[in-house]
């Protein structure tokens, strides 16, 4: 760096990029140091043999309030999933849709499994509950584990097993429904007031858009930070960089190693397998859920049915997510194929395995204890700050909001 930056942001994930762009918009010089070879942190997309492979199945919820503030959603060309899901249970796929958006389809499957009529009516009650009041008030509501919350609302065990466990399991990356009910209500509100979608060119387009706002030279790749103290950071080779302020925007584990006293949250893991198929096993942009829990697969999505750019012409890209699998990693692909052959038939044998992503630190766990303080402090000391989804809520929106809050704290301390 030719001159001392005003602020050093350690980490080029969504929180760090959001922080840096907010600082630069307020004319505060900021430089981002990213250890990886591209921005994005846990939100990355790889190009592989003409396919776009997100590093783990992820979606963007169009109702995210922070995303609406800081992203050019039109430029991302968001491609939507159908509101609802197809659920494998009892030897066939059942269709569940949002009754307010697809009333004809919803009515035609009203008495279909999983769950009975009462469960489907309670979904409307949950929707009304989650969308009532101001969004900020939601984070102050009494909370409990999601499973207890849903049972107290009157949902049956069958509905929990067949729908909520795989649906929420794919979002929170845990199948015990131990995530805080505040997080459940937030996510359900986002689904009810918007859509699940992906950028046409993959989830990595989100951090790429933020990084493109930075001036030339403000983002340095392949730069590891070994130590942070005061207004200084130390790089390999004992190189020291000084600034007026330092913001640590790394993943939670690295933040805990760089910052004395910073707790490392428990992280949920996920494994994502990608297959190239001659034909899509499901037509349309559907999320497909395992409503039986008898195999490793939690959810499936044919990404090329959501956005054609995800796969070369004439091929389909199938994304398979595995959550909380006790089986061996060596046998995982074979067990996944066996389970999906039951769902989709012998055509699965012709699928070509492209890549498997094992992501042990995919998402901070969000039990009720983690959200007692929903907006955790970003100012650690004068000139030292931290941001990330572990300081807000474990979502893309939480990461973006935390980055903005850190920038606001820096600006306040700098008198700007």
Our CA angle for 378, 9, 405, nearest 5°, is 30
Report whether 34 belongs to an annotated binding site. yes
Compare 71 and 326 and report the one with higher pLDDT: 71
What mean pLDDT comes out for the span 87-91?
94
Q: Average pLDDT for residues 182-206, to the nearest whole number? A: 97
pLDDT in tens, 370-380: 999 999 999 99
Average pLDDT over every residue of 26-38: 96
CATH of residue 114: 3.90.660.50
95 in the same domain as 183: yes
Q: 35 a known binding residue?
A: yes
Beta bridge partners of 54: 45
Q: Quick one: 398 and 290 in the same domain?
A: no
In this structure, are 104 and 76 located in the same domain? yes
Let me know the angle formed at the C-alpha of 353 by 347 and 354, rounded to the nearest 5 degrees: 135
Task: Say whether pLDDT at 102 is over 70.
Answer: no
Looking at residue 101, its pLDDT comes to 58
The residues, any chain, with a CB within 8 Å of residue 126's CB and separated by 6 or more, are 150, 153, 188
The answer on 372 and 358 residing in a single domain is no
Q: How many structural domains compose the chain? A: 2
pLDDT of amino acid 71: 98
Q: What pLDDT score does 176 carry?
A: 96
108 phi/psi in degrees, rounded to 5: -65, -20
Cα separation, 325 vs 295, in Å, equals: 8
Task: Report the chain's mean pLDDT, rounded to a whole number.
Answer: 93
What mean pLDDT comes out for the span 399-410? Answer: 98
Nearest to 337 by CA among 351, 325, 326: 351
pLDDT of residue 347: 97
Domain region containing 140:
45-202+267-364
Query: Would you say residue 399 lies in a domain?
Result: yes
Do residues 186 and 155 lie in contact, with contact meaning Cβ atoms separated by under 8 Å?
Answer: no
For residue 296, pLDDT over 80 is answered with yes
Q: Given a cut of 90, is residue 238 above it in pLDDT?
A: no
pTM here?
A: 0.93
Tell me which residue of 384, 13, 34, 15 sits closest to 235, measured CA to CA. 34
SS3 of 220, please? Answer: strand
pLDDT above 70 as % of the chain: 95
Distance CA 37, CA 41 (A): 10
- DSSP single-letter state for residue 332: H
| Domain C-terminal end among 364, 379, 404 | 364
Task: Give the pLDDT confidence of 141-172 residue by residue, as tens digits.
Answer: 999 999 999 999 999 999 999 999 999 999 99
Query: What pLDDT sits at residue 100?
Result: 59
Ranking 104-108, 191-195, 290-294, 391-395 by mean pLDDT, the lowest is: 104-108
- Establish if 142 belongs to a structural domain: yes
| Start-end of H helices in 230-331 | 252-258, 303-306
Q: How sure is the predictor about 117, in pLDDT bands with cuts at 50, 70 and 90?
A: confident
Contact 17, 207 (CB under 8 A): yes
Same-domain status, 343 and 257:
no
| Percent with pLDDT over 90 in the chain | 86
Q: How confident is the model at residue 109 (pLDDT cuts 50, 70, 90)?
A: very low
**For residues 4 and 138, which has the higher predicted lDDT (pLDDT)?**
138
Whether residue 33 is found in the same domain as residue 126:
no
The CATH number of residue 219's host domain is: 3.50.50.60
Tell me the average pLDDT across 51-62: 98
- Nearest-angstrom CA–CA distance, 2 and 31: 11
Q: How many CA within 13 A on the CB side of residue 168?
A: 28
**Which residues 6+ apart lie within 8 Å of 45 measured at CB?**
52, 53, 54, 55, 201, 202, 203, 204, 205
Look at residue 165 and tell me if it is in a domain.
yes
Residue 2 lies in a domain: no
Q: Answer whether 262's CB lies under 8 Å from 378's CB.
A: no
- Going by pLDDT thresholds of 50, 70 and 90, the confidence category of residue 4 is low
What sign does the CA torsion over 33, 34, 38, 41 have? Answer: negative
Q: 236 and 153, same structural domain?
A: no
Q: Are residues 165 and 62 part of one domain?
A: yes
Question: Do 281 and 261 belong to one domain?
Answer: no
Q: Looking at the structure, do residues 129 and 69 belong to the same domain, yes or no?
A: yes
- According to the model, what pLDDT value does residue 106 have? 41
Determine if residue 238 is left, alpha or beta; phi over 0 gives left, psi from -120 to 50 gives alpha, anything else beta: left
Tell me the C-alpha distance between 325 and 349, whole Å.
Answer: 22
Residue 1 lies in a domain: no
Instruction: Indicate if 257 and 384 belong to the same structural domain.
Output: yes
Q: Are residues 301 and 325 in the same domain?
A: yes
Do residues 139 and 168 make contact, with C-beta atoms less than 8 angstroms apart? Answer: no
């Amino acid at each position: 760096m030719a001159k001392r930056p005003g602020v050093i942001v350690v980490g080029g994930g969504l929180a760090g990029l959001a922080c840096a762009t907010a600082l630069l918009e307020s004319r505060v010089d900021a430089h981002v140091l990213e250890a990886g070879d591209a921005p994005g942190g846990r939100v990355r997309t790889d190009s592989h043999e003409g396919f776009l492979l997100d590093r783990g199945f992820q979606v963007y919820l169009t109702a995210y309030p922070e995303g609406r503030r800081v992203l050019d959603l039109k430029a991302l060309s968001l491609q939507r999933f159908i509101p609802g899901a197809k659920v494998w249970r009892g030897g066939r796929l059942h269709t569940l849709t949002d009754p307010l958006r697809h009333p004809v389809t919803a009515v035609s499957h009203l008495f279909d499994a999983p769950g009975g009529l009462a469960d489907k009516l309670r979904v409307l009650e949950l929707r009304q509950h989650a969308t009532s009041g101001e969004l900020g008030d939601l984070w102050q509501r009494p909370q409990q584990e999601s499973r207890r919350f849903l049972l107290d609302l009157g949902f049956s065990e069958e509905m929990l097993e067949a729908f909520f466990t795989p649906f929420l399991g794919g979002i929170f990356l845990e199948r015990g429904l131990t995530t805080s009910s505040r997080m459940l209500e937030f996510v359900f509100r986002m689904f009810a007031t918007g859509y699940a979608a992906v950028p046409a060119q993959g989830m990595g387009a989100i951090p790429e858009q933020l990084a493109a706002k930075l001036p030339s030279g403000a983002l340095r790749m392949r730069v590891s930070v070994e130590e942070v103290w005061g207004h200084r950071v130390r790089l390999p080779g004992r190189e020291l960089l000084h600034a007026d302020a330092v913001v640590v925007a790394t993943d939670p584990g690295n933040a805990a190693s760089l910052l004395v006293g910073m707790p490392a949250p428990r992280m949920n893991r996920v494994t994502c397998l990608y297959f190239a198929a001659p034909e899509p096993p499901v037509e349309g942009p559907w999320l497909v859920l395992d409503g039986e829990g008898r195999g490793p697969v939690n959810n499936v999505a044919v990404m090329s049915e959501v956005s054609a750019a995800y796969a070369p012409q004439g091929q389909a890209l199938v994304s398979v997510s595995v959550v909380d699998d006790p089986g061996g990693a060596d046998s995982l692909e074979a067990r996944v194929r066996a389970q999906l052959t039951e769902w989709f038939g012998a055509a699965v044998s012709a699928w070509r395995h492209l890549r498997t992503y094992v992501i042990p630190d995919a998402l901070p766990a969000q039990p009720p204890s983690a959200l007692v303080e929903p907006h955790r402090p970003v100012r650690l000391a004068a000139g030292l700050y931290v941001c990330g989804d572990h300081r807000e809520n474990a979502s893309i929106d939480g990461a973006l909001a935390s980055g903005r809050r850190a920038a606001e704290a820096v600006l306040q301390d700098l008198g700007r």
